[in-house]
Amino acid sequence: MNIKKLGKLVLPYLVWMSVLVGLPLLMMVVLTFLKSNALDLGTAEFSFDSWRILFSDVTVRIALKNSFVNGIIATIICFVIGYPIAYIVANSNFSNKLIILVLTIIPMWSNSLLRNNAIANILSERSIVNDVLSNIGLNFIWPIRGVVYESGFSPAVVIGLVLTYLPFMILPIYTVLEKIDKSLLEASMDLGSNKIKTFFKVTFPLSIKGVTTGIIMVFLPSFSGFAIPKILGSGSLVFIGTLIDSRFMNRNYNFGSLLSLVILLIIFGSMALIFKVDKEGETLI
Amino acid sequence: MSKKLIELRNVTKTYDDITVVDNISLYINENEFITLLGPSGCGKTTTLRMIGGFEKPDSGEIILNGVVVNELPPYERPINTVFQRYALFPHLNVFDNIAFGLKNQKVPKQEIAERVETALKLVSLPNFGARKVANLSGGQQQRIAIARAIVNRPKILLLDEPLAALDLKLRQNMQYELKEMQRKLGITFIYVTHDQEEALTMSDTIVVMRDGLIQQIGTPTGIYNEPRNRFVARFIGESNILEGTYVRQNVVSFMGVEFDCVDIGFADGEKVDVVIRPEDLDLIDPVGAKLVGVVSSSIFKGVHFELCVIVQEKEFVIHTYENKNVGQAVGLRVDSYEIHLMKVEN
Amino acid sequence: MSTRVLTLSRKIVLFFRKPKVEKTLKVAGAVLKWVFFVFIIFLLYLPIFIIALQSFNNSQLMYDFTTFTFKWYGMIFQERSLSQSIINSLVIAVTATIISTVLGTVFAIGIHSLTKKKRQKMVLLNQVPILNADIVTGISLMLVFKLLMYIFPDIFGFTTMLLAHIFFCLPYVVLSILPKLSELDENLYDAALDLYCKPTTGILKVIIPSISSGIFTGMLMAFTMSIDDFVISYFNTGQGFDNVSIWIYASIGRQMSPAVYAYNTAFSFLMILVLVIISVKGSLKKRKNLLKFKQNKI
């Protein structure tokens, strides 16, 4: 293509992204060292309060623990379910496009909050499913909504996270699996590896970049969300997102920014990882 | 006499500090079939793209019909291109692909239909208009690409390795067809290839390039028989290249023996490179021969045998109709007019 | 002892190598595989079925199915706050999709034209909104918009939500188009210029039609992401400009009007219908072309 001439089309995007990504980052960093009423700089004063609270407050520690425990469990389950599903689709004879659409896009046309609300319904002591099933003599009660173990693990929240974010695990893994040259597998078998060995020595290593993307795309929203814990954890379960939300709503932008930066730190790590394995971003869609 | 149609004057093009085309000058006449020949990375495609207007030279001038056209974009040049992998528009059928340029020039509908059909006939694909481009074979796509360019009646047709993706047989057929087409249409063809055989078969003029520099410009026979340096000699055809000394007029010495020669223009005692084509070496009886060697390998090539003969630890390639056994001693003879001398490059 | 274990394990291996056993295992494996697959799809769709069930429930109680009714479907536009939030959601999604599809196409073409190193950097930057946690994206945008309030005091509401949605939709459009661009013949644009297209016409007449499937995918992604977004919208709204997600979030723990279930079910159903129509049309066109081709060949 006529390279240099079209390259300048990127310029507005670069400006747009710099303003909307770079500027707020700067603002957040500054805000963590202030004590201010929202963004009102007139009454703002220099303060290390936010940093002190971060390292001393018990709520912060509990929220981080809850976020990590539930986020990691949800991510592991998504991987354990998502990889085989992606593998089955990539190797099926059906129209893959249609299956992928059914697995990933269509569920999202149903509001995710409403879907989690429905999950909460099933996992409550009185659920509409049980009510319908009892008419035909069946009984299904699994009232785990609101159950939280000491570790912070909440089965209901994890179920909600898995069912909401599973598509984000399936899609990138499917994308890489589908691109693997089938002759590589034949070559591996030809060179004496059986099916299982071929999978672990060829297929899986080649799909690592999809797996990396999938894990990050599931873990980050699971870790940082606040709506799902609110719906399925019955409000008692505090996540890091819950704290950020409440701080910003209470006009305490300082501590809210600091907590956001904590999440950003994890995100930058993830992005560095993705950039390493997938420079062209082909697994993100 | 033919008229100068396009001229490149001291044209240079640099990408990221690498000079791809280095101060080249050449002119092309009307109705000429000219080939830019060289290995990949020699700057031939970049030169072509500058003529087409897809790249701008960093310095120098491109002159079309006496007017400097450096700044003229491709869509304002009376030049069309057949691209390497054809660049057919995948969303259009054959007819719309060929009609694309005419539509943009607002040619009346009726005329478009006629000209497209004529072009399709010229490339021997009549009635192909409704086909999807993706359903065509490589050879057919290539013909469509040619039709799409010539239907616009350009003054110059640029062809960037158009035959590279075709198999051998098809490629040879297309070589003759292209040459025939050029004669019939009376368009100047500027052809880029790395295939020396293609260049020799089709061209009126060959421009041999290497590392952004022109090595030699000449007719196919001129370049084959009188290569200017080792690179050209090696690149065009096979050759035995030897170090020698120009002893005096009509005498050259190499391999420790003196030979008669006809090339002139060298000083007495000057070091020279000697080129002898494999088919110009004759096998004779070793007794009394100036060069004596042993056959080290023999390969049957269909029409001839390709022998390797070791003479004083130097390997000679010889094309001959009679086979010799490996290990056999042979004598070599070469006619004075088959010995070509070149200046030694630093 | 160890030799006995060895012979036993050999026996087991040999047992599984028997052709009959091997075949049975294979069939069992295939069945198990599809049972698993269908079960996961069932789980993914279970909440959607429950929402549908709730939408047909005559009772307002979430856990009590009394009788079947369509009445909530009629109520969707009766309830002012809900119907307003539905309209807001749709307006934002449609506008954001259109704008980000157009701009995303232009930016993708630009990014594709960059040199490799610059392109990789742009792709990385493009990933920020996709990978970033929604809450951080939402707060970041809110902070910038708060600054803008000094110039435009009334910016929070429709404008901020639209800008925020464009911000996170654009990268999906760009990412779905980029691979299509790299599949194109690198000389395609040059060919258009060569055949007398001006630069803009060249892009419109040649590049855009050649990458239309990528543009469509990007559009679909953008619309999907926009319609389902909660967190980013939540932080970037104001003056009572609620979308459906915000409306639902505000109703959690309270008695929610079942009309929202009806809306959600109807919306999903309509979207699927549109998708089916598009794909049927596409396959019909394909079949027609194939037929044409076959006829031509004869």
Three-state helix/strand/coil letters over C18-30: CHHHHHHHHHHHH
C110: domain CATH number?
A: 1.10.3720.10
**Helices A240-249/A58-90 angle, 10° precision:** 120
Average pLDDT over residues C109-137: 87
Segment 130-189 of chain B within 8 Å of chain C by CB: 130-132, 135, 148-149, 152
Q: What are the distances in angstroms from CA A172 to CA A207, A274, A281, C38?
A: 9, 12, 10, 20
Tell me the domain boundaries of chain B: 4-231, 238-343
d(CA A172, CA A101): 13
Between CA B80 and CA B72 the distance in angstroms is 14
Residue A13 lies in a domain: no
CB-nearest partner of A270 from C48, C63, C131: C131
- Give residues 34 to 53 of A whose Cβ lies within 8 Å of C: 38-39
Side-chain half-sphere exposure of B196, counting CA atoms within 13 A: 16
Tell me the CATH number for domain B4-231.
Answer: 3.40.50.300
Which chain B residue's Cα is nearest to C293?
B131
Global pTM reads: 0.83
Q: Which residue of A has its CA nearest to C227?
A: A109
Tell me, yes or no, whether C124 lies in a domain.
yes
pLDDT for the residue numbered C265: 93
Nearest chain C Cα distance for residue B332, angstroms: 51
| Residue pair A175/A246 in contact by the 8 Å Cβ criterion | no
Q: Name the DSSP class of C203.
A: I
Number of domains, chain C: 1
For residue A275, give its domain range: 58-284
Q: Which residues contact C121 (CB under 8 A, 6 or more apart)?
A: none
Which has the higher per-residue pLDDT, A283 or C59?
C59
- Contact, B299 vs B250, CB < 8 A? no
Strand-pair partners of B81: B158
Per-residue pLDDT, B1: 47
Pair type for strands B156-160 and B188-193: parallel
Per-residue pLDDT at C289: 67
**Shortest CA gap A24–chain C (Å):** 5
Whether residue A134 is predicted with pLDDT greater than 80 in this model: the reply is no
Query: Under a CB-based contact definition with an 8 Å cutoff, are residues A145 and A120 in contact?
Result: yes
Is residue C6 in a domain? no
Q: CB C135 to CB A121 under 8 A?
A: no
**DSSP states of chain A:** --HHHHHGGGHHHHHHHIIIIIHHHHHHHHHHTEEEETTEEEEEEE--HHHHHHHH-HHHHHHHHHHHHHHHHHHHHHHHHHHHHHHHHHT-SS-HHHHHIIIIIHHHTS-HHHHHHHHHHHTSSS-HHHHHHHHTT-------TT---TTS--HHHHHHHHHHHHHHHHHHHHHHHHHS-HHHHHHHHHTT--HHHHIIIIIHHHTHHHHHHHHHHHHHHHHH--HHHHHHSTTT---HHHHHHHHHHTT-HHHHHHHHHHHHHHHHHHHHHHHHH-TT-GGG-
> Is A147 within 8 Å of A257 (Cβ atoms)?
no
CATH class assigned to B238-343: mainly beta
Chain A (206-265) residues lying within 8 Å, Cβ to Cβ, of chain C: 216-217, 220-221, 223-227, 230-231, 235, 241, 244-245, 248, 253, 256-257, 260, 263-264
Quote the minimal CA–CA distance from B106 to chain C in Å.
10
Return the number of other C-beta atoms located less than 10 Å from residue B315's C-beta: 12
CA C190 to chain A, closest CA, distance in angstroms equals 6
* pLDDT beneath 50, residues of chain B: 1
pLDDT in tens, A254-270: 888 888 998 888 888 87
A17 touches chain C (CB under 8 A): yes
The C-alpha atoms of residue B339 and residue B334 are separated, in whole angstroms, by 7
Pair A130, A141: CB distance under 8 Å: yes
Contacts of residue A52, Cβ cutoff 8 Å, sequence gap at least 6: none
CATH classification of the domain holding A194 = 1.10.3720.10
C window 29-68, beta carbon within 8 A of A: 33, 36-37, 40-41, 43-48, 50-51, 53-54, 57, 62-65
- Does residue A166 lie within any of the structural domains? yes
- In tens, the pLDDT along A109-120 reads 899 999 998 898
Which chain C residues touch A91 with a CB distance below 8 Å? Answer: none
Q: Is residue C186 part of a domain?
A: yes
**Above 60 in pLDDT, residue C126?**
yes
Domain membership of residue C155 (yes or no) is yes
- Among B75, B130, B149, the residue with its CB nearest the CB of C292 is B130
pLDDT(A279) > 70:
no
Q: Report if residue A45 sits inside a domain.
A: no
Higher pLDDT, C201 or A186: C201
The answer to whether the beta carbons of residues A259 and A45 sit under 8 Å apart is no
Is the residue at A33 inside a domain? no
Domain total for chain A? 1
Report yes or no on C119 lying in a domain.
Answer: yes
